Amino acid sequence: MEQKLLFQNARVVDPSQQLDAVCDVLCQDGRIAQLAPRIPACADMEVIDASGLILAPGLVDLHTHLRDPGFTEKEDVLTGSYAAAAGGVTTLCAMPNTSPACDTPETVRYVLQKAKNAACRVLPVGAITKGLSGETLTDMQALAESGVCAFSDDGVPVATAQLMAQALENSARLSLPIFAHTEDRTLSRGGIVNAGVWSEKLGVAGIPNAAEDVGTARELALFMNAPRGARLHICHVSTAGSVSMLAAAKAAGLSVTAETCPHYFIFDEEKLSLLDADYRMNPPLRTKKDRAAIEQALLDGTLDVIATDHAPHTPQEKADFRTAPNGVIGMETSFSASYTALVETGKLSLSGLLERMSCRPAKILGAGGGTLQVGARADLFLFDPNEWWTVDPDRLHGRSKNCVFKGCRLRARVKLTVCGGRIVYKA
């Protein structure tokens, strides 16, 4: 028999229906069954007293790396989903840079099979080119039929403009978005941190802003010329230049969307003074000017979405600053870190934050979620807006520890997460 879950006295904040009110929420058969000022409890319901807590639509993370198959010492579908649930994330997109890459229906089915036991909804992203090697396109139609939610070569850019143009044609035909990692590798080659003051101080090769900007310009130019119905979403924007190109493209009526990640609007390259590889990711932490531009773009809507680029690597791999792979984890800290940086400071309303972390990414996927409307999937989370906590990587739920927010005191703590009507996390 299906579980019935009744939340009483929660402050319910749902930007999808301009709702911010104290009320009760009933979940039944995996769906939101009722929202009302007072819903009487029955014997067959599990009742949760949510007084003092905020109940919101579950977060939707468009950009994660679950490392499964192939790199399960870093993370796997299940451990990644535990990290998601503990962070209030109820739907995530899993990037295809696994081993093998998610470039065939068999691998899509493998991920979906594992996802059946996951603590959140796991939507595989299909590769654009076979093995992400930039030589030949995958059978995008077969991938679509096997259940991918989007296409990307993330980790690397799609190697040539010609392949990206074909991918955009297929995007239109298959009605699925392209998630673009924008980077010109002839410019970023060999770089491990932002090119500038810090790459010079440390005597290491840098990744210039131009590497991202040239990539963003290419994708926007291709998208302008793509068939009607093509969809383009730009991943992990880190530069002021990408932001101004996106603003111009949107002003000209292009329907592109874009994301950034908490580390790009919270930190800058000065973190590299710690010589800690946990602060290395691609694209890298940039200058104070870039950080400010990213924040402003997130506030004014030039950037639509906050995603994490959750990229687990083992402590052994991250031990050496110079040789460590790029990437930071993020699903368990993204909500609190974003809340602390944007809502606590008065820069953004709570519903503005939920739009960027739940409603808008859900809309980009078009696969449900991102709303508490009656009849919708019962994907939600409860958090305490007044609780401060200090991030201890050893107490997170994923398999890896490469967390940029370690030691940070953050406000707003996830208390309980429900996915498809089932409690998947309880603090």
Catalytic residue numbers read 309
363: which residues sit within 8 A by CB, 6+ positions away?
Answer: 370
Using CB under 5 A as the binding rule, whether residue 213 contacts Zn ion is answered as no
Residue 277 to residue 313: CA distance in whole angstroms: 10
Phi/psi of residue 194, nearest 5 degrees: -60, 140
Shortest spacing between CB 97 and Zn ion, in angstroms: 9
Sheet with strand 59-64: strands edge to edge: 59-64, 89-94, 121-127, 150-152, 178-180, 232-234, 257-260, 305-306
21 three-state secondary structure: strand
Question: What residues numbered 220-259 form the site for ligand DOR, per CB under 6 A?
Answer: none
Neighbours of 267 (CB within 10 A): 19
Number of amino acids touching ligand DOR (CB under 6 A):
12
Using CB under 5 A as the binding rule, whether residue 181 contacts Zn ion is answered as yes
Give me 369's structure tokens.
């979620």
For residue 89, the cross-strand partners are 59
Of 262, 210, 267, which Cα lies nearest the Cα of 241?
210
Please pick, from the candidates 16, 81, 98, 326, the single residue that binds ligand DOR as defined by CB under 6 A: 326
Shortest spacing between CB 405 and ligand DOR, in angstroms: 16
Residue with Cβ nearer ligand DOR (146 or 188): 188
Contact segment (CB under 6 A) with ligand DOR among 51-59, 325-333, 342-350, 417-425 equals 325-333
Shortest spacing between CB 16 and ligand DOR, in angstroms: 30
Shortest spacing between CB 70 and ligand DOR, in angstroms: 11
Residue 59 to residue 414: CA distance in whole angstroms: 11
| Residues present in the chain in total | 427
Give me 228's structure tokens.
């009607």
Question: What residues numbered 104-163 form the site for Zn ion, per CB under 5 A?
Answer: 154
Site string for ligand DOR, 348-387 (x = CB under 6 A): ----------------------------------------
- Please give the residue whose beta carbon sits closest to Zn ion in the complex: 181
Shortest spacing between CB 62 and ligand DOR, in angstroms: 13
Per CB under 6 A, residues contacting ligand DOR are 65, 97, 154-155, 181, 281-282, 309, 311, 325-327
Site residues, Zn ion (CB under 5 A): 154, 181
